[in-house]
Amino acid sequence: MNTNMNDILKLVSPKEALNRGNLFENYFWPYKYVANLKPSNEREDLMQKIQQFGFAAHELNLYLDLHPDDKQAVGLYNQYSETANKYLNEYEQKYGCIELDSNEKYPWMWINSPWPWEKL
């Protein structure tokens, strides 16, 4: 039997998935709190896009552990991963590295960036 994820699961957008903590509509139980993240500048917007698409790709990766032959899920996983990497590269070009394996050389630019608790 060859089924794809649309026969089993309904997916929400990466933005909604990050806000509620789950990509899969059929496996979502409402939490007490659902986030409504709203970036206040371009830097926060890029970071949120990285998180949205990275989270959606990770959720699909977990699904693919159990359904490795679902070609539609593989395609969507690749699309979300590529989109997350595109936003990651854009962020790092504008604001410096955010991952340990970035190609940034010493002196590290990230030490000069605002820390998460500092208002941008």
Look up residue 64 and give its two tokens.
Answer: 């693919």
pTM of the model: 0.75
Question: What confidence tier does 1 reach under pLDDT thresholds 50, 70, 90?
Answer: very low
pLDDT above 50: residue 50:
yes
pLDDT above 80: residue 44:
yes
